[in-house]
Amino acid sequence: MKVRQMVKKAKKGDKESLLKLIMDQKEDYYKIAYSYMGNQHDALDAMEDMIVKLYEKIDQLKKHDSFYSWSKKILVHCCYSIYRSRSKVVLVDEWQDQMSTSGHSREHNQVDKNMDIHQWLSMINPRQAEAIKLRYFQDLDYQSIANMTNTSLGTVKSRIFNGLKKLHKLSGGALNEEN
């Protein structure tokens, strides 16, 4: 069945059509969600949020052909919402951890050779991290990133540039020693 027809059906409230649309490109969706969230659990949560939002808002979709770009934009948005709400939550043990090492700067304290890339990315501005993830993990060009995150091309470029610069600076001590 063509995308257009399925979108039409989905618009009329057919949930299976909507599900099929997503499942047809499930790998793409999953990779976006995973690259954002960094783990399977959160990626699946983000996709759940996405499909609910799609179902609610599919009436607003004007061009049936642009279903995929539209739905991926929503996925990015869902990921970002979860990501942001998660970053506000500080688990008690982490918090106590911070307390015990008070007196050191947080950045310096947490810099660790064994940190994975997601932990590094969590230390920079989330918008910068988002742009870097889309650029590197999804191989998207600048324009696509701009479209997906509702920003201008220039903003995307500067976010990636400044984000990387910040990462280099943070990691300077810990990582460059290895080289």
Nearer to another protein, 100 or 114 (CB): 114
Strand partners, 104: 102
DSSP string, 45-102: HHHHHHHHHHHHHGGG---GGGHHHHHHHHHHHHHHHHHHHHHH---HHHHHHHHHTB
Give yes or no for residue 142 binding another protein (CB under 8 A): no
Nearer to another protein, 100 or 176 (CB): 176
Per CB under 8 A, the list member of 15, 63, 86, 104 interacting with another protein is 15
Nearer to another protein, 93 or 178 (CB): 178
Helix (H, G, I), strand (E, B) or coil at 104: strand
Q: Which is nearer to another protein, 40 or 66 (CB)?
A: 40
Q: Which is nearer to another protein, 38 or 149 (CB)?
A: 38
118 binds another protein (CB under 8 A): yes
**If binding means CB under 8 A, how many residues of this protein chain bind another protein?**
40
The footprint of another protein on residues 48-107 (CB under 8 A) is 48-49, 51-52, 55-56, 59-60
Tell the smallest beta-carbon distance from residue 139 to another protein (Å). 7
C-alpha span between 15 and 21 (Å, rounded): 10
Q: Identify the DSSP state of 138.
A: S
End-to-end CA distance of the chain: 53
Q: How far is CA 13 from the centre of its chain?
A: 28
Task: Give the contact letters, 98-117, x = binds to another protein (CB under 8 A), - = no.
Answer: ------------------xx
Q: Return the percent helix, strand and coil in the chain, to nearest 5.
A: 80, 0, 20
- Give the CA distances from residue 45 to residues 51, 74, 109, in Å, rounded to whole numbers and listed in that order: 10, 13, 31
Name the site residues for another protein (rule: CB under 8 A).
13, 15, 18-19, 22-23, 26-27, 29-31, 34-35, 40, 44, 47-49, 51-52, 55-56, 59-60, 116-118, 120, 132, 136-137, 139, 164, 167-168, 171, 175-176, 178-179
